[in-house]
Amino acid sequence: MASAINRIGVLTSGGDAPGMNAAIRAVARASAVAGVQCLGIRRGYNGLINGDVTELTPDSVGGLTRRGGTMLYTARSPEFMTPEGQKKAVSTCRYLGLDGIVAIGGDGTFRGALDLSAHGVAVVGVPGTIDNDIACTHYSIGFDTACNTAIDCIDKLSDTMQSHERCSVVEVMGRRAGHLALYVGIAVGATAVLVPEREVDFERDVVEKIRRSRIQGRNHFIIIVAEGCIRATDVGRRIQEEIGLDPRVTILGHIQRGGRPTARDRVTASRMGVFAVETLAAGRTNRVVCIVNGEMRDFDINEALSMHKDLQDSMYNTAVTLTTG
């Protein structure tokens, strides 16, 4: 890979996601192959403001694929959202002689990258978020691991719910999106799945489904609630009021962001990290790396941020069928 760039930086920003380390490793290794020096920027955009960097060599990133979290730490940086903060970050880029930045994270991270780009810094974003809500890509790093973690937890909950013949209301993450809830709901065989992208009619979507399940002889129920849809505690209270069950509410929370990345996350992160370096080395900037039908592509960040990602209708309909039958 012939390259006109000499030194790049890589950072992780926003909520961490399993597989981010594999992406960092891939960026460092691909840089070395291209003869480019790679600096790790710690604590997201804060590290760019403060010049908090460490050199990443092929050796120093060894063994990272199997580690959850991010070895570069991550942060949401209020200072970077100010013009002064951005000026400081741009000065750091110039001072360090960075010819480009790979920014791994979600849409907040890409908005930050856009700000850098507006100041003439070459940037490429890599989608890393368990929410899988980046519209231009079919897949974001961390989603598969988060699904599997949630499924593992809910399988355990199901065991005890089955023993006690109880109802479990489980809130999963996803911010304003229901992708995680939908996948997990289908995978655990939920009684009902509530997502923010579809209007919830409590009678139809919860009460009726529990009643129908009961008539069919089932004696324990799992209701999956996306955090962006409705509070799980409210769902639990209404189930008690309207059906007379005594549900247990579990908010899975940050456990969904940790753990050893799955094969899918390790491989996707590795492909995206390499592709990000190739994109910068080819002189392309203001791009987001995407995976579309299994192929690596890149989109303009502005375009990527203006796109909206809905739930896949066929996936939602599958959940509806399975929770109705």
CB of 271 to ligand F6P, least distance (A): 22
How far is 185 from 119, CA to CA, in rounded Å? Answer: 43
Residue list 214-253, contact with ligand F6P (CB under 6 A): 227
The catalytic residue among 16, 99, 107, 131 is 131
CB of 225 to ligand F6P, least distance (A): 13
The reply on whether position 129 binds ligand F6P by CB under 6 A is yes
The reply on whether position 130 binds ligand F6P by CB under 6 A is yes
Nearer to ligand F6P, 100 or 112 (CB): 112
Region binding ligand F6P by CB under 6 A among candidate stretches 80-88, 168-176, 183-191, 264-272: 168-176
131 is catalytic: yes
How far is 47 from 87, CA to CA, in rounded Å? Answer: 13
CB of 178 to ligand F6P, least distance (A): 11
Nearer to ligand F6P, 12 or 129 (CB): 129
CB of 223 to ligand F6P, least distance (A): 19
CB of 257 to ligand F6P, least distance (A): 5
CB of 142 to ligand F6P, least distance (A): 8
CB of 289 to ligand F6P, least distance (A): 18
The reply on whether position 68 binds ligand F6P by CB under 6 A is no
Q: What is the 3-state secondary structure (H, E, C) of the chain?
A: CCCCCCEEEEEECCCCCCCHHHHHHHHHHHHHHCCCEEEEECCCHHHHHHCCEEEECCCCCCCHHHCCCCCCCCCCCCHHHCHHHHHHHHHHHHHHCCCEEEEEECHHHHHHHHHHHHCCCCEEEEEECCCCCCCCCCCCECHHHHHHHHHHHHHHHHHHHHHHCCEEEEEECCCCCCHHHHHHHHHHCCCEEECCCCCCCHHHHHHHHHHHHHHCCCCCEEEEEECCCCCHHHHHHHHHHHHCCCCEEEECHHHHHCCCCCHHHHHHHHHHHHHHHHHHHCCCCCEEEEEECCEEEEEEHHHHHHCCCCCCHHHHHHHHHHHHC
Determine the size of the site formed for ligand F6P (CB under 6 A). 10
The reply on whether position 285 binds ligand F6P by CB under 6 A is no
Nearer to ligand F6P, 3 or 129 (CB): 129
The reply on whether position 261 binds ligand F6P by CB under 6 A is no
Nearer to ligand F6P, 173 or 281 (CB): 173
Region binding ligand F6P by CB under 6 A among candidate stretches 96-104, 173-181, 239-247, 281-289: 173-181
How far is 311 from 290, CA to CA, in rounded Å? Answer: 18
| Number of residues that make up the chain | 325
Nearer to ligand F6P, 138 or 212 (CB): 138
The reply on whether position 109 binds ligand F6P by CB under 6 A is no
Task: Give the one residue of 106, 125, 128, 178 binding ligand F6P; rule: CB under 6 A.
Answer: 106
How far is 260 from 258, CA to CA, in rounded Å? Answer: 7
Cα–chain center distance at 85: 26
The reply on whether position 15 binds ligand F6P by CB under 6 A is yes
Tokens linked to 145: 């691991």
Residue list 174-203, contact with ligand F6P (CB under 6 A): 174-175
Catalytic residues: 131
Chain residues in the site for ligand F6P (CB under 6 A): 15, 106, 129-131, 173-175, 227, 257
